[in-house]
Amino acid sequence: PESAQPVTPVTFPPAFLWGAATSAYQIEGAVREDGRTPSIWDTFSHTPGKTAGGETGDIAVDHYHRFRDDVALMAGLGLTAYRFSISWSRVQPTGRGPAIQRGLDFYRNLVDELLAHGIKPAVTLYHWDLPQELEDAGGWPERDTAYRFAEYAQIVGEALGDRVEQWITLNEPWCSAFLGYASGVHAPGRTDPAASLRAAHHLNLAHGLGASALRSVMPARNSVAVSLNSSVVRAVSDDPEDLAARQRIDDLANGVFHGPMLHGAYPQSLLTATQSLTDWSYVQDGDLALINQPLDALGLNYYTPTLVSAAASAPAGPRADGHGASAYSPWPAAEDVAFHQTPGERTEMGWTIDPTGLHDLIMRYTREAPGLPLYITENGAAYDDKPDPDGHVHDPERIAYLHGHLSAVRSAIEDGADVRGYYLWSLMDNFEWSYGYDKRFGAVYVDYTTLERTPKSSALWYGQAARTGALPGVESV
Ligand code: PNW
């Protein structure tokens, strides 16, 4: 017999949201339709050598034309929430000026379809697809980009604020700043550590300005949040040098964003560590107060923990920080830090499976932001899924991953955390950025020839959890 099922079911609060997440460039396709203009991801993915196999989001999974079917699929599974992002250049093609109504209409129709099926929408304004014209004007290292974001936030807030309650300004600004401008594995592909720190500040400013723009045009009941890929950073030992390395990476991964957002200041240790790269003089009077707006919720994206030591105690070998193959580090001013592979089983991304990291992350932000409701806005795993000859797609590894991580969420709630919902990454297989289409994160399988969708066994398992508010056993589907 298989291992015994747990005797006590793992149950969740009745109002807990069971969601799935996606982002515009990863699923929509239709990149030249209805007035949309290129974003930095169109440019990047069309630049030879930047993505696996030269793959692009030109068609992606054609969600732009299939959104009604996709909503029906979610409803059929039993999901109660859906997090998606808006393509800025579909709404405001040059990143400035008046909105294109056809662009807004697409999202209005999507939201209405979700609401008609009893699915709660959560809108992410920025999931990495900056209009190319704004990058041509300097991109996130330039202050003006933050003002442009605020204008865009106001446009979308006015258009959808009457029907969308949950708003997320930015998705994972760490990736935008440091994968985009330091290691260059994400668009726009720049490798300038000083510029990446400027980008981080202007992303923070965009969050602050965007949050107040949203609030100025939306009903007060709506919730404004940000999604951080807050890393769980662990040191290989308690030696002071290893703990100092841990602090450095924690500052660069987390403190650089949650410092100003939650506490109104950059960590002093970050300012000191980066002083050879930047004097932070672009942080103007009043910026920190703007960034430090009260939030209504905090979104946490979690995949795997980060393990570091001082460089002196690191074994020689390739970089093991899991952030792609660039020769350039995404960690400015951290040459004296070494990254290690956390022991244990890994997913297809090479990311170690460790649900204790999710528990630790939730408890950390429960302390860091007392009273702030938390959402897990992304969590999931890539596996090399293939349909059986009978057409079924069995993904027991993903079920085990979800079971482990949702159990960790549940235990954090028992430990006093206020976690209100969970969004599985991702609803369906999609364009996994520089990895192209071969990393499948979906609970729903997509055949890239026919674009046909087939729920994997994990989707059925997760749907059952959503419908019952309790985790089924891992062998139950
Ligand atoms: C997140 N890293 O990306 C994104 O929000 C999603 O769009 C993406 O598909 C998903 O996680 C899976 O990768 C990340 O290098 C990309 O640490 C890279 C990193 C983290 C998150």
pLDDT in tens, 59-102: 999 999 999 999 999 999 999 999 999 999 999 999 999 999 99
Three-state DSSP class for 17? strand
d(CA 174, CA 475): 37
The answer to whether the CB of 321 is under 6 A from ligand 1 is no
The answer to whether the CB of 440 is under 6 A from ligand 1 is no
> Looking at the annotation, which residues are catalytic?
172, 378
Give the residue carrying structure tokens 């707006």: 293
The answer to whether the CB of 323 is under 6 A from ligand 1 is yes
Residue 397 has pLDDT above 60, yes or no: yes
ipTM of the complex: 0.91
d(CA 250, CA 130): 26
Beta bridge partners of 85: 124
d(CA 272, CA 247): 12
The answer to whether the CB of 23 is under 6 A from ligand 1 is yes
* Helix 101-116 with 63-77: angle, nearest 10 deg: 20
The answer to whether the CB of 229 is under 6 A from ligand 1 is yes
The answer to whether the CB of 377 is under 6 A from ligand 1 is no
Tokens of 318: 């390739």
Please check whether residue 224 is in contact with residue 295, taking contact to mean a CB–CB distance below 8 angstroms: yes
pLDDT (tens digit per residue) in 266-297: 999 999 999 999 999 999 999 999 999 999 99
pLDDT of residue 200: 98
pLDDT of residue 9: 83
pLDDT of residue 109: 98
pLDDT of residue 8: 75
d(CA 124, CA 111): 13
Nearest CA to ligand 1 atom 4: 172
Q: How would residue 313 be classed by pLDDT, with cut points 50, 70 and 90?
A: low
pTM for this one? 0.96
Give the residue carrying structure tokens 């300097």: 138
pLDDT of residue 312: 73
pLDDT (tens digit per residue) in 102-115: 999 999 999 999 99
Centre of ligand 1 from the C-alpha of residue 24, in Å: 14
pLDDT (tens digit per residue) in 168-182: 999 999 999 999 999
Centre of ligand 1 from the C-alpha of residue 281, in Å: 30
pLDDT of residue 318: 46
The answer to whether the CB of 172 is under 6 A from ligand 1 is yes
Three-state DSSP class for 301? strand
Ligand 1 atom closest to the Cα of residue 425 is 10
Pocket test for ligand 1, best of 25, 303, 440 (most atoms within 8 A of CB): 303
Q: How would residue 321 be classed by pLDDT, with cut points 50, 70 and 90?
A: low
In the predicted model, what is the mean pLDDT of the chain?
Answer: 96
d(CA 266, CA 287): 11
Q: Which residues make Cβ contacts (< 8 Å) with residue 97, sequence separation at least 6?
A: none
pLDDT of residue 230: 81
Give the residue carrying structure tokens 């979104």: 299
Percent with pLDDT over 90 in the chain = 93
pLDDT of residue 315: 52
pLDDT of residue 317: 47
Closest CA to 263 of 235, 231, 298: 298
Centre of ligand 1 from the C-alpha of residue 99, in Å: 29
pLDDT of residue 327: 84
pLDDT (tens digit per residue) in 227-250: 998 899 999 999 999 999 999 999
Pocket test for ligand 1, best of 83, 227, 300, 433 (most atoms within 8 A of CB): 433
Centre of ligand 1 from the C-alpha of residue 33, in Å: 26
Tell me the binding residues for substrate. Answer: 26, 127, 171, 303, 425, 432-433
Residue 225 has pLDDT above 60, yes or no: yes
Centre of ligand 1 from the C-alpha of residue 229, in Å: 8
